Amino acid sequence: MNTWRAPLLLVLLTAALAGGLLALFVEWEREKVATRLARQAQLITYRQAMELEDRLSHVIKDLRFIANLFDRRERLSATELQRIQEMLLGFSAQQQFYDQIRYIDDQGEERFRINLSGEQALFIPEAQLQNKRHRYYFRDSIDLPHGSIYISPFDLNIEQHAIELPFKPMIRFATPVVDRDEKNNGIVILNYLGKRLIDRLPKPDPEFPGQTILINANGDYLTAFEADKAWGFMFPDRKQQQFRTEYPAVWKVVRKQQLGQENTPEGDIFTFGKVTIASHHASDSCGNCYLYIINRLTGQQLRQLADKTLHITPWTIAITYAIFLTITLVIHWRLRTSQRSGETTRRLIRNVAHERDLFADGPAVLFRWRNEFGWPVEHVSNNLKAVLGYEKTTFLNGTLGFASIVLPDDLPRITEELSTALRGNLDNFFRAPYRIIDAEGRQRWVRDAIRVVKNNAGEVVELYAYLMDIDAVKKAEEELEHSRAYIQHLLDTIPDPTLVIDSNTHHIASANQAAYRTYLPQGLQPNEAICCYQLAHKRDRPCSGRDEPCPIDAITHSKKATNIVHKHYDARGLPFYVEIHASPLFDDQGRVIQILESHRDITKHIRNQEALQQQAFTDGLTGIANRTAFERLLEQETKKLRENGGSLGLIMFDLDHFKKINDRHGHQSGDRTLIEVVSVIQRQIRGYDLFSRWGGEEFMVLLPRSGLDETSKAAEHLRRAIEQHHFDAIPQRVTISLGVTSWMPGDTIKTLVSRADQALYRSKQQGRNRSTVSDTPPVSINRLDK
């Protein structure tokens, strides 16, 4: 009976070892996928936080802009309110972010309000304005220092003491305005539509399985992994549905770091970033000035993606074990049959022994030791002397235990690895490489695969170790690592950011410290899986097109070095310009496999060029666009009209009797008058209207999306504004004459400008200080030109 049990045990152990190796490989691959996704989550969360901060910073800028319209003024006249109304109606309709734009005076009275209804901006009549003296946002912001920003909690809008349905998430931004004596005279307040912020939260790559949510500084859900938990803090029966109560350990880490990552015992990975709404703009006691973006990768998602990557399904594992089981059953059947014949049994034993000896003569040594102090050896394969130089009897008689030949520096580590595996109830596992001392006293790098043997009580009694000599491989790795360290040292001596990039995947193979300091924020570690466009451009796609040519694509085709100027983004997400010098690196077959890029910061040079270009297109006296710039802009606008249709108004005006002003008061006063005229006109036109000096005392105003009637009203508004303005430069009244027209079918730039010029000429002929409208079809002007 015992004659067939030993070989059968060997077969079973071999099958179990194969299964263990397969399980270890699957686990290793899962760890690899988890590491890659964790690093990808860091990049995605950082990008989301930066874009969210950027959007919110624009709200602060808009608030400052609107506050300037009401700042340091006494009670606003009807004319001033009308001018501000026209400007902010266009602003509100264009932005589509603000549910309300309001100016509330120091008594809490609404003096000005614009509501957004759908996509239409509506000015609220004075009779419908209300007193807001008792509302919390007025009380909390009216006494703030001038220039401070008040930020309300990010919550759901409440109407008539009930939450408005459908939900309308809202953040209120307010800032005080002062009178000419620097005393608080009221507040300007913007009701920012939070849904627009949430809906425009940057989405991660569709292939990325993680889910992103937004929470406030108190750990409450604004959006949630489970949709019904969002805004729970607004409802009495859901107040405990908070991120901080569901994930207290993660929340503890989130509160302490600007950007970070935390793993949970369940295998989930949480990546988080702090979003500052208004840093130095806000009041000192701002409790609502930041939010948190949280990204979660669940352990189940990680396992599913790893299994998908491996293409290993339960059926694959089942088939593998079925094959081993079939082989085992066949051998078992053959051994049972062989018992009927002694000769057959002996022949089979000899065959098995021969196969065992073939295994024993290989490069790996098989040890079996007891799970006791010093790991006393009970069995060792015959190739022990050939591989390590020891006699078998040295171990079998107890002179040496297996622990005796392990390098003392490595023994505590591999002992702990063994203890950890046994505590985890593992039957098969690998230990990390370690060093042993061979019979000649030399250190040798080895690695072993362990198989655990237990008794009927489940106690570990023996361990099998399949010991592999990896000394040559380890030394080669050390030499390679030394070479890599040397190359990295050379890279780090280069002051400019320098990258080595895989030409196929765009992954960064290596980078110097200057690159990481330039592009990575503090707290985000270098990542071997990161792509160059993710690092430098903070996005998830490569450069392309004429405006952003990819140097990698260019070099792959030409196999020659190239220089390209790109706009990159630094660790804070701020843009700067670099000159990229990129060179190809070839393999033995002459194929481009990597690109060496060096990035030189040329932002100052580019800014100087832009400044020179700005000077070329700016009027030196008034600071507005000159004739050259206006002609280019007019060409762009008329091209849009031909392609897409629409409307376009044009106003041409000049100062009446300007020569007399120069003659009577001097050219210096004349120049100051022109500057004042420009200042008055700029306060009257819309933000997207185009204003330029045509030459001398002649000016042009281009009004996109404006028909003839609207342009005519705007011209009359400009004329009255100049007529009513008290000029500091000269004591006399200043007036202007205007010619008004709009784009018509068949128009060209020449016919449009000519029509406005003729209308201006008629205003002069008819007594000046007036506007004249010309709607003559372009065909008539063309005939005059001929």
Burial of 330 (0-12, 13-18, 19+ CB in 10 A): exposed
Q: How far apart are CA 193 and CA 172, in angstroms?
A: 9
Which helix (H) or strand (E) segment holds residue 105: the answer is strand 98-105
* Contacts of 593 by beta carbon, 8 Å cutoff, 6+ apart: 502, 503, 504, 585, 586, 587
Q: How far apart are CA 429 and CA 37, in angstroms?
A: 25
Q: How far apart are CA 215 and CA 41, in angstroms?
A: 17
Chain center to CA of 143: 37
Phi, psi of 440 (to 5 degrees): -95, 5
Give the residue carrying structure tokens 């998602």: 301
Q: What is the 3-state secondary structure (H, E, C) of 598-658?
A: EEEECHHHHHHHHHHHHHHCECCCCCCECHHHHHHHHHHHHHHHHHHCCCEEEEEEEECCH
Which own/partner contact pairs does 351-356 have at CB distance under 8 Å and 24+ positions apart? 352/7, 352/10, 356/10
At 173 the three-state DSSP class reads strand
Q: How far apart are CA 189 and CA 103, in angstroms?
A: 6
DSSP state of 109: B
For residue 497, cis peptide bond before it (omega within 30 degrees of 0): no
Q: How far apart are CA 86 and CA 598, in angstroms?
A: 51
Q: Do the beta carbons of residue 174 and residue 188 sit within 8 Å?
A: yes
* Contacts of 322 by beta carbon, 8 Å cutoff, 6+ apart: none
Beta strands, E only, 524-591: 562-569, 575-586
Q: What is the 3-state secondary structure (H, E, C) of 369-433?
A: EECCCCCCEEEECCCHHHHHCCCHHHHHCCCCCHHHHECCCCHHHHHHHHHHHHHCCCCEEECCC
Give start and end residues of each alpha helix (H) in 144-223: 194-199
Which helix (H) or strand (E) segment holds residue 515: the answer is helix 513-519
Which helix (H) or strand (E) segment holds residue 278: the answer is none
The residue from 110, 597, 637, 697 that is catalytic is 697
Q: How far apart are CA 673 and CA 729, in angstroms?
A: 6
Dihedral (CA of 141, 147, 151, 157) sign: positive
Which residue, among 200, 196, 150, 207, has the nearest Cα to 175 in the 3D structure? Answer: 150
Count helices and strands in the chain by DSSP H and E runs: 23, 29
Give the residue carrying structure tokens 């990597």: 594
CA-based Rg of the chain, rounded to a whole angstrom?
Answer: 39
Active site residue 697: yes
Phi, psi of 288 (to 5 degrees): -125, 25
Calculate ∠ Cα 576-578-580, nearest 5°: 155
DSSP state of 284: T
Active-site annotation, residues: 697
